[in-house]
Amino acid sequence: MLEGLFNEESDVGTTSSSTKNSPEGCKPSDSSLPPPRLPCGLAGIQNQGATCYMNALLQSLLYTPELRKALFQLDQTELGRLEDRSKPGAKVRVIPIQLQKLFARLLLVEKQCIGTQELTDSFGWTNNEELQQHDVQELNRILFSAIEDSLIGTSGQSLISQFYHGNIVNQIICDECGRISEREEDFLDLTLAVAGYAGVTDTLESYYVTKERMEGDNRYRCERCNKLVNASKGAKLRSLPQILTLSLLRFSYDFNRGQRYKEMGNYTFPLELDMSPYCEKTSSSDTSIYELFSVVIHGGSTHGGHYHAYIRDVDGLGTWTKPEDEPIQLPKKKDNTDSDPVGVIELNSPEEILALLLRQHGGPQCTMGIDELCQALCRETGVSWNKRFKKQHGPINKFIKQHNEMFTFATSTNSVSLKDSIIAVNEKSSSEAENEAICKTVENSTGEQNHRNNSGNQDTRNDTGNEEVTGGAVEATNDAVASCDANNTSVGTNKGRGVLCCEKHRASGDRTLLQCAKCRAERTKSTNDLTSSRGKCWFDFNDARVHPITAKAIDRQFSGRESAYMLFYRSKSLYRPLEAQCNKLHGIPEWLLGEMQKENEMLEKQRLEYEAAINRIELVILQSHHYVYNRGALHPRPSLDSTPKKLGLDRRKTVEELITDIKMLLEDKGIGDDAICLHIGKQLPAGLHLFNSISEDMSATLQSLGLADGKQVFVWDGKQVDGMPIRTGEKCEPVLLNITFECHEKNISTNQQNGTKQIQHTFPKDCTLNEIRAMVSVLTDIPARCLLLSRVSSKPVVLETIDNAKTLEELKLCDHDSLVAEYQRDTGTSTSLAEQETEKQNKMVTFTVENRCAASLTATVDWPTQQVQIEHDKRIDELKLVILQKFNLAADKMMKRVCRLRVNHDTLGLQAPLYEEETISSAGLTQGTEIVLEPGRPPKNNQITLTFSAKSGELSLTHEVTVERNITVGECLQIFLERANISSDSYHLRRTNWCHEPAGVIVDVDATLEQENISNGDFLIIEEGRLAPRGFVFLSIWLYPSPDKGQNSPADQNGVVSKITTLLSGLLLSKETTNGHSDNDIISDDVTQGALLGEIEISLDATVEDLKIQILTLKPLDELTLPTTDFLRVRLIENKRLTKVLKEYDQPLKRLKVTRFTQIAVQVLPEEEELKANSIVLNIFQRIAQTRTYTPIEELTWEAGKAGNPDNLRQMIADRMLIPIERVAIAKHLPEKFEWLVINSTAQGSPSRGKGKKKGSRTHHVNLKHAPYHLKDGDLIGIKDLQFDSLNQDDFTTEDDDIGKEHLRLMAEEKRLKRREMKKNNSSWHEKGGGKGSKHKEKRPECSLAIHVDDFRTQAEQT
């Protein structure tokens, strides 16, 4: 009925708690380095998937000063040490220790958010519990109970009751005699109904002031009057806790409509609550007056939602600024060159934010839809436009239209884009320059408005009636307090981004330390004004993000979809000492301070290393004497080895230092002090071109000049190259154009085809169309007055003479664009040549071809590639001929026959070779497809190419074979075996899925490949194992030693046991008998070892008796003389352990669920055995006193009967072990978990559930064959004699169990890390919940919320 009640509707299956409210979920930067704290100075908590409910509660507990102090006062002598947890007998109170460490990290570690994996591990959450949604009110009770259980026997055992427990007294007062009947009960939190009430005081009035009349049929039987009387019934609060918790019943169930719903009506709660009217004894002191300090909020509906908390910073540990002035952080893009070590950019104004978002997510044109832009804003920053900017700037559409100097708004598409002047800033690769340009534009466009806003806010007061405040504001004599104060202080002008500082130090950019007495005096004056407001600042703790809010924001949580769910009040009488104010170090023990200091030092080291790494660049140094200037661009000099040199350095270096490093790299060859000039070069289709100079300002840093990794730096004298002056800069960037024209001279041989010729020529970008006409006229011998130029694209476009003054850039002509030059015939129309070229261009497709037929290459050199153009209706063999011509291989006739083409897919890799008779379009080749030319004969139309994998030793080798389409599966298998050099015929074929994982077995070996739907390019697997005929199976038979029954073992009259022992030893040691599979043919379990006897083929309709008879025919057993098959026990092997005994001799194997994957174990017995259906074959061993070891294992056959009585089993074990039954303790071993399940007595008390029965308990009979024991064949039973171990009756663990648990823990941790990485990288993970377009969400199965705590009661009692 309550399924999915607390699901997080925005975030099913993601790591962040809510796409709406907590987008990044403490998403690390691209380097996986955790970002530093937000400007408020308070840390958030990372959401593990669906733990927002826990995060909100933990933050509320952290900022409860009294609880935080009491928890930190528990030292390691009481709680133990985590490193001692694995020691035998150690009692380490893990949950309180992990809470201490988490609270210390939240206070001191310099991260934006802290993880809770260690805490949830201490809860015993190992089965993805962090992905299950739960109720915060339920967690509050369970967590407090776990803390109480963990602190038993310590000085903090009353910690929870001291702060949170109160008492309610329920009273019934007789009207006649005045007798008062009382019943007192404790409470951890007060549950208040929301439906039908106006607010908290209204509900409390109804619960604890208004009395219920018991009259008429509802009269009360008074014990003193001994009759039914009228009475008054009511409740009062007898004692109040120091911390009052109120849980609001927001969720209800409508029985009429059969569905649950959330109460969203208005329900008020005060900031200050007087509880004296509801107490049994009224008091006028502050003990009954409470101040609100935490509001846990649930946003959503009954079907899903998200938790976060509004918390008042009682001790002033954070830095409060006006919410609208708080800087917003945007994560950097991967290619961002900003030197910020944690990958974030701080922005203040909405113009800056929108502009940067359009840059990062708007594509080349910086264009996004309004809805898409709003989603990006919320996803990247964690704030929405409506909540942060709408009140001050209005709706986003209106805001964008007002700032038309920056943005262009398209009404038809409801999209926004950056102006061209703003997009031009992208040419600067430094994000520092990018932001500077944006901010400058914003400043120019909105300076007057900002001036008005600033002037109007000079004496601004926040919504609480206090001046703008900060968490750190007091001058303390204590050094720790002063240190904390310096870190927390963020008061001042400039929108709260720095301390009050003089102009000198404000200009220096140092915002963390006070530099002079003037600054300190200004700060002291400001902090004295703010002292009265300390402790009244509110923050919104929303998973990873923490940001300031005003007190008015709390009023918005009275009603609606997002509304208050839990309230935490603190007694006004509680006093906070002065040394605790603004001091995050207060009360934290020394050992924790040491750990936090080490963690911060490690973080600082990582950030420094990261900063050095992201600033490390490698430049390509090009020397001028290696190049010649030809056709408008630089080209390598053919006669010289022009391999460029690479220089690695820090981009924070200056140009002067760069020149010094270049001189050292080039060893001063040909470089003089007066003649060196550096330009940034870029390889273009036309050749190398030099852009902006970087050697004009020798003091400029490489970062400010936009130098990034891989940039080319050209070293020259700044005047000429190879004796020729060259132009530099973007304006003269060379553009390579294709020019097609008619040939009229017979001596033209180059590219002559159908009377046309095509050449390539380079033009500078600032060249005008008139200059192009003149150059084309010279190149084509067409007089300029007769020349008609047309541009070829989807249709021919004539370049009119009216555009002669336009440049290439204005005409938007780019590299590889095509021009057609011809004689002018009909004015204003395209000629037939242009139309022919256009039609030809439209039929052309371009491929990237990689030549793997080239000579052997070194590992550092890639295969040669070429761009190939061809018409799409050509055949593959024609495409191959064009490719061979491109690589100058067409003259080799043999190459045409022994090479083939195949597609290299981006995701699936190399595909099957292409059929040469197919056309390009029918083969599915499209524009931009990557094609590989490789050695090998191309397949014919009646052939298919298959890839298969065969295991050879530890390696899986992959082969490719071309076979006929119409051969059978068996013939194909034989071809595969021959190719893989496998001589055995005991193999079969298996299909694979799209990612080459094993799928279905191909059973019918006589069917053809076409009948089995095996097509060209399929991937198959060769697996060992001959397939049995239909209705039969091959079973592996393993020989195990005869069972040891201890003192009850029968005499070996015929020497059968000794023969089996000898035979088994020989099988284990002989490599010949094991058929060469020495390691794989030995199965080990907890009892003994078994060896492979062989394999039999048997019908699934055969009985167990038939199976035994056939087993006796195997060669190793044919030497034994057994009177009947009753001397043979057959059982299954599961997970390398002996399990079920096959007792039903007349049952067919298929009814016993025997399949071809089943492994059979056989044991030869010294006597006949006829087991009943209810018999269970168990393995037992006894624990050796004062140790963690056991005696050798024995076998016990227990006649369980239908009842499965545990006392029956205990009595049988007592008789076997000769121990009085009252001293016997037994437990079942759970090998998968390395745990022990203690088996209790037959009768256990349980509450009575039947109506009308007497109160009390009833007897519940335990059946060991049912839950939770499920006792079955092969289970291992541990036995303890309580005479020697009376204190630890339930401890059956061994050292192997400890090792196994540690292994499971490491595997779970590895799985968690892998899952976290998958969530981060795999987009399909986020689609499990259905995504935006889905109609239905995937509902997760509910699981109970539980925290597992070790038992400390016994230790406390001993103490």
Helix (H, G, I), strand (E, B) or coil at 298: strand
222 is annotated as an active-site residue:
no
**CB 1025 within 8 Å of CB 989:** no
Cβ-in-10-Å burial (0-12, 13-18, 19+) of 351 comes to buried
d(CA 220, CA 1020): 82
What b/e sequence results for 736-754 when a residue is b if at least 16 CB atoms lie within 10 Å of its CB, and e otherwise?
Answer: bbbbbbbbeeeeeeeeeee
Task: Write b or e for each residue in 661-676: b if 16 or more Cβ atoms lie within 10 A of its Cβ, otherwise e.
Answer: bbbebeeeeebeeeee
CA–CA dist 1216, 1224 (Å, integer): 11
DSSP secondary structure letters along 214-267: E-GGG-EEETTTTEEE-EEEEEEEEE--SEEEEEEE-EEEETTTTEEEE--S--
The active-site residue, picked from 134, 165, 306, 586, is: 306
* Distance of alpha carbon 910 from alpha carbon 953, whole angstroms: 26
Q: CA angle 1134-1137-1143, nearest 5°?
A: 70
Residue with tokens 């060992």: 1024
Cα 1338 from Cα 708, distance rounded (Å): 46
Position 726, amino acid: I
Q: Count other C-beta atoms under 10 Å from residue 454's C-beta.
A: 12
Token reading at 1099: 């019908």
Residue 279: active-site member: no
Please, which residues have CB within 8 angstroms of residue 24's CB and are 6 or more apart in sequence? 16, 331, 379, 380, 382, 544, 545
Tokens of 1046: 């201890």
Amino acid at 1344: S
Paired strand residues for 246:
190, 567
For the chain, the first-to-last Cα distance in angstroms comes to: 46
Question: Alpha-carbon distance 569 to 292, whole Å?
Answer: 4
Q: How far apart are the C-alpha atoms of 1160 and 1092, rounded to whole Å?
A: 10
Burial category of 798 from C-beta neighbours within 10 Å (exposed 0-12, middle 13-18, buried 19 and up): middle
Distance CA 575, CA 573 (A): 6
**Residue type, position 168, single letter:** I
Please report, as a single letter, which amino acid is at residue 862. Answer: D
Q: CA–CA separation, 191 vs 204, rounded Å?
A: 10
Whole-number Å distance between alpha carbons of 932 and 525: 75
Residues in a beta bridge with 734: 764
* Token duo for residue 451: 């001036």
By the 8 A CB rule, do 914 and 901 touch? yes
Single out the catalytic residue among 52, 113, 279, 519.
52
Radius of gyration of the CA atoms of the chain, in A: 41
Tokens representing residue 463 in the block: 């919504």
Residue by residue, DSSP assigns 960-1026 as EEEEETT-BHHHHHHHHHHHTT-----EEEEEE-TTS-EEEE---TTSBTTTTT--TT-EEEEEESP
Q: How many other CB atoms are there within 10 angstroms of residue 452's CB atom?
A: 10
* 543 closest CA partner among 973, 46, 1006, 1037: 46
CA distance 136 to 142: 10
- The residues annotated with a catalytic role in the active site are 52, 306
